[in-house]
Amino acid sequence: MHSNLRWSTVSYAIALILTLLPLTFARAQQATPTQQEAAPQQQEGQAAQARREVVQPLNNAPFWRDVREGERNAYQTTQVRGVETSILVQTEGEIWRQIRNGPVTIYGGWLLVVAFLVIGLFYWWRGKIMLHEPRTGRELLRFTPWERMVHWTTAICFVILAVSGIFMLFGRYVILPLLGYTVFSFLTIIGKNLHNFVGPLFVVCTLLMIITFIRGNSFRRYDWTWMRRIGDFLKGRHVSSGKYNAGEKVWFWLGVTVLGIIVSATGLVLDFPNFGQGRETMQLANVIHAVAAVGFMALSLGHIYLGTIGLEGSYDAMRHGSVDETWAKEHHDIWYQRVMSERGRPAPGMSPVHAPASAMKDGWGL
């Protein structure tokens, strides 16, 4: 009985194989023409490539098209380690180069030139804004030592980054034709290393600037009046303001805070490429960084001008920390009246208080 069962099983197996064999043979015959058709197509492609090399030498578009397919081919690999190991040629790199060397460099450079020329022409026309009354010899403390230290550290970092950034962005168009390759290379290498190492310090200084000076930089109703009368201020006429006028507040919020945070964040992306960001991320960060930095520098020219040669007494405030009472009354009268009220001294337009006036050579803490 067992012998009959085994023969029955074998018979069924043989019958199944004989049934499937014709189907398998038919499919093999269908596949063979496809493979045979691939050979002429490959030969035709090679012939087209040979003709292209004769008619258009060095034009190997199909080859480079296949290379660029690596961006979508997960099985293509290179010797590059990291997130872009499958990318040999990055198409976005050319787009980044055109944007960086095109609109960013051209319009950014002209923006800085125009800003510098406008300030220079204004100084030639107006000159320094002088005090209308003589100094009293009595001084008020305007900035504490901590505020001045934070300001000057940030300012020094900013100047280093601005100069080195200008070298890297515009150097090949301005410095290279004038000084040659050797000097340009030497200056660019120094500037690049300074930019990389000073950048993180500037990030810390920017955060300290925001924390230190945010008090007093909130906009008040009289700031909108100051903005409407900015022409009077530039002509040397009195316009009421608090400790910081509306122009200084715009510089703080738009320049120090917004643009400062943007250049800091994008700068860290560029300075530390070892956190997994690819070339596309760094190219985008580079364009944003350059645009924000150029705007930052253009805006800073007005702040630097009024804080140095444009307004009498402004530089002394940040250098020594104190200002004369006359300067405070003419440029920041609301702040001056508040300080006098807190100190127990009568200010113009206010009722006298019981505390007598006293000399303030070294200033008072606020």
For the residues of 305-361, what is the DSSP string, one character each?
HHHTTSBTTHHHHHHHSEEEHHHHHHH-HHHHHHHHHHHT---TTS---SSPP---S
Closest by CA position to 84, among listed 287, 283, 285, 289? 283
How many other CB atoms sit within 10 Å of the CB of residue 207?
A: 14
Lowest mean pLDDT among 12-26, 206-220, 270-284, 323-337: 12-26
> Cα separations (Å) of 172 from 97, 168, 181, 270, 292?
14, 8, 9, 21, 21
Express each pLDDT in 137-161 by its tens digit. Answer: 999 999 999 999 999 999 999 999 9
Q: Where are the domains of the chain?
A: 47-89, 91-343
Closest by CA position to 107, among listed 264, 287, 259, 269? 287
The CATH architecture assigned to 91-343 reads Up-down Bundle (1.20)
Express each pLDDT in 37-83 by its tens digit. Answer: 555 656 666 677 677 767 666 666 766 676 666 556 666 667 767 77
Amino acid 353: pLDDT: 37
How many other CB atoms sit within 10 Å of the CB of residue 54?
A: 7
219 three-class SS: coil
187-211 average pLDDT score: 95
Q: Is the pLDDT of residue 284 over 70?
A: yes
Packing angle, helices 279-307 and 260-271, rounded to 10: 140
Query: Higher-confidence residue: 11 or 82?
Result: 82
Q: Is the pLDDT of residue 33 over 50?
A: no
Amino acid 342: pLDDT: 85
Q: Which amino acid is at 130?
A: M
Express each pLDDT in 304-360 by its tens digit. Answer: 999 999 999 999 999 999 999 999 999 999 999 999 988 776 555 444 433 333 333
